[in-house]
């Protein structure tokens, strides 16, 4: 491992860590090969209340529990979990799901838009992510971006087209610092081609590449950080938008 001036750039390709995910999931039921990661806790709550989800285990931690649940979609068993906020939590939950047997994963959540013309309710399929978080640098050598397999992007796009959902394929910007999305950095990211900003995509892509699994993501257009002032773009129907996007992710995952 080469020592760098900046510790975050000291990538170690050794595939084995002191704490292996497989050790932490011993004794748990296997996860389905196909899994959806969603940040929509309210959607999961409604699905539990209606009996759609069946719990298979709980991944426990000091900051809270992460149930791993299963639903049946057109005869295909799909695992479901909330990975938590931010790259470290999302990356860790994905690692544990992979150790439990997940091999094809689709994530869905909302992000801030860097272009005001991306209407709330539209969807971005990230083809790549700008890596301004920290976790991805522990899984892949330093680079400006990490990408998604074109075949996965195409499958996710076909599902949206079949349901006539407004969407585009683009670049996302992943950052750890919610409150440091400053105007100069936003302008730089826009010039690089990013259309949305969020906190997990680059990390999830990196973990998936490192572990050799299939991964894709839907990012719903949420608040707007493209203008002079932040616009939360609150919409009374946003809960239904989230549930719709969740089911689109489930369908896309079933087709991978």
pLDDT digits (tens, 9 = 90+) for 194-230: 999 999 999 999 999 999 999 999 999 999 999 999 9
Tens of pLDDT, residues 47-69: 999 999 999 999 987 788 899 99
Give the domains, in start order, of the chain with CATH numbers: 29-255 (3.40.50.1580)
pLDDT at 238 over 60: no
Global pTM reads: 0.96
Of the candidates 226, 247, 234, 223, the residue with the CA atom closest to the CA atom of residue 165 = 247
> Residue 106: helix, strand or coil by DSSP?
strand
String of DSSP letters for 175-223: ES-GGG--HHHHHHHHHHTEEEEESSHHHHHHHHHHHT-EEEEEEEEEE
Q: What is the pLDDT of residue 236?
A: 62
Which residues lie across from 196 on neighbouring strands?
113, 172
Split at pLDDT 50, 70, 90, the class of 239 is low
In tens, the pLDDT along 137-180 reads 999 999 999 999 999 999 999 999 999 999 999 999 999 999 99
């Amino acid at each position: 491992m080469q020592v760098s001036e900046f510790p975050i750039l000291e990538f170690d390709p050794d595939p084995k860590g002191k704490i292996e995910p497989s050790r932490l999931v011993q004794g748990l039921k296997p996860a389905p090969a196909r899994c959806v990661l969603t940040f929509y806790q309210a959607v999961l709550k409604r699905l539990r209340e209606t009996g759609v989800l069946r719990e298979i285990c709980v991944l426990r931690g000091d900051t809270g529990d992460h149930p791993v649940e299963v639903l049946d979609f057109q005869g295909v068993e799909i695992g479901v979990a909330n990975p938590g906020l931010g790259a470290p939590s999302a990356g860790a939950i994905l690692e544990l799901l992979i150790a439990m047997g997940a091999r094809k994963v689709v994530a869905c959540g909302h992000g801030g838009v860097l272009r005001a013309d991306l209407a709330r309710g539209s969807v971005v399929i990230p083809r790549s992510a700008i890596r301004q978080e920290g976790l991805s640098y522990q899984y892949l050598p330093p680079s400006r971006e990490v990408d998604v397999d074109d075949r996965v992007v195409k499958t996710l796009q076909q599902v949206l087209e079949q349901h006539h959902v407004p969407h585009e394929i683009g670049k996302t910007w992943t950052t750890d610092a919610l409150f440091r999305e400053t105007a100069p950095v936003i302008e730089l990211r826009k010039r690089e081609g990013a259309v949305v900003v969020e906190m997990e995509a680059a990390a999830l892509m990196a973990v998936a590449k490192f572990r050799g699994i299939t991964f894709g993501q839907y990012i719903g257009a949420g608040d707007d950080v493209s203008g002079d002032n932040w616009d939360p773009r609150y919409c009374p129907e946003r809960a239904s938008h989230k549930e719709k996007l969740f089911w689109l992710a489930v369908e896309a995952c079933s087709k991978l």
